[in-house]
Amino acid sequence: MGGLLTELGKRLAERWMTLLVLPGALFLAAAFAARTLGHAHALDVGLLVREAQAWRPAPGAGAGTRLAVLLLVVALLAGAVGLVAQMLGSLVERLWYAADWESWPRPVRALARWRVARRRRRRADAVAAYEGERRRAGELLAAGAPGSRVDLRPARLAVARVSPEEPHRPTWSGDRMHAVALRLDRDLDLDLATVWPALWQLLPDAPRQQLETARDALDRATTLAAWAVLYAALAVWWWPALPVAAATYVTARLRIRGGAESYAALVEATVHVYAAELAERLHIPVTGLLGRRTGWEITCVLQGNRHLIDLTAHQPQ
């Protein structure tokens, strides 16, 4: 037990240093540069070094103690800044995925509604272009024209770049996450929010670890976007913080998009692979492929509406 607690303490300390203290220390260094240099001497390294040396404890008795206290204070401040970034990252995640945008305050809700409408128009145009390419490919194939093969992949990718399904969120990442619930409801009549907690209990360690890793990557990406906001705030006093904020934001945006794609794909695959096992655990018979009737029965049982299964037993799948 002692070895386990020691190892756990090491892991927690390493995570605390990696996620909070080190990024916070970098931000404190940037804040120190902003306070010292300002816009007038933004790139004066010599001035920055001289100001930093002024903070060094004077030699003599107790200098080592004062230096240790100074480092401890810096570490605590860096950890506090890291916690602020984590909290701001949670807000960034809520805004980015916008699952509840219809309940936002009116001005922000109006902006989100405009974004959703604009994305729907863009997707409708992309779908129309894709259907036009399909019709042209069919006409060329029917005519037997030489070289009649038409590559539909660019048109199909143009649709996916807007949204994998009909847009319901203001961002691509939000729609990618929501597309999983839409597809499961359409194809299996299965409510993901209801089924997922029960399904999670069945997962072996390997797929559960993959999902947790993908979710952690999403959390780190949204926290990185929060750091971009904090660095942008420093640009008010020190203009070099602005390109740092821009580069951080671009990196965070790419990571959020890639992380949303990976996590959504894992969640959807997990449901398709383990939903039949969940049905068996709930004593719901499954024959052949998992169909809409089975998905609906799983949802009814987990929602406490088992009586609806008997009431609709005569209906086809």
Per residue in 227-253, pLDDT (tens digit) is 999 999 999 999 999 999 999 999 999
Q: Can you list the positions of beta strands (E) in 20-170?
A: none
**Do the domain assignments include residue 84?**
yes
In a domain, 248, yes or no: yes
Whether 229 maps to a domain, the answer reads yes
Q: What is the pLDDT of residue 16?
A: 61
Q: Are 94 and 215 members of one domain?
A: yes
Whether residue 27 has pLDDT greater than 80: yes
Question: How many structural domains are present in the chain?
Answer: 2
Select from 202, 155, 162 the least CA-distant residue to 179.
Answer: 162
Q: Let me know whether 164 and 221 are in one domain.
A: no
Q: Is the dihedral of CA 276, 279, 281, 287 positive or negative?
A: negative
Whether the pLDDT of residue 56 is over 70: the answer is no
Residues 59 and 151 in one domain: no
| pLDDT for residue 5 | 47
Residue 48, sorted as left (phi over 0), alpha (psi -120 to 50) or beta, turns out to be alpha
> Does 66 lie in the same domain as 82?
yes
**Is-contact 213 266, C-beta < 8 A?**
no
Any domain includes 31: yes
Is 15 part of a structural domain of the chain? yes
- Residue 317 falls inside a structural domain: no
Task: Say how far apart CA 168 and CA 124 lie, in whole Å.
Answer: 13
Q: Are residues 206 and 285 in the same domain?
A: yes
The pLDDT tens digits of the residues spanning 289-315 come to 888 888 999 999 999 887 777 666 656
Is there a domain that residue 316 lies in? no
Regarding whether 283 and 199 lie in a shared domain, the answer is: yes
Q: What is the mean pLDDT of the chain?
A: 86
Task: Give the residue, 65 or 146, on which the prediction is more confident.
Answer: 65
Of 140, 168, 196, the residue at which a domain comes to its end is: 168
Clarify whether residues 120 and 268 are in a common domain. Answer: no
State pTM to two decimals.
Answer: 0.85
Residue 128, pLDDT above cutoff 50: yes
Which of the listed residues 168, 188, 208 is the one where a domain comes to its end?
168
Residues 194 and 74 in one domain: yes
Q: Tell me if residue 111 falls in helix, strand or coil.
A: helix
Do the beta carbons of residue 252 and residue 222 sit within 8 Å? Answer: yes
Average pLDDT, stretch 178-182?
A: 95
Which class for 276: exposed (0-12), middle (13-18), buried (19 or more C-beta within 10 A)? middle
**Is residue 280 domain-shared with residue 265, that is, in the same domain?**
yes
Residues 87 and 152 in one domain: no
- Do 127 and 210 lie in a common domain? no
Domain assignment present for residue 40? The answer is yes
Is 49 in the same domain as 95? yes
User: Residue 231's domain spans which residues?
Assistant: 2-99+169-311
Which one of 124, 147, 168 terminates a domain? Answer: 168
For residues 263 and 211, is the Cβ–Cβ distance under 8 A?
yes
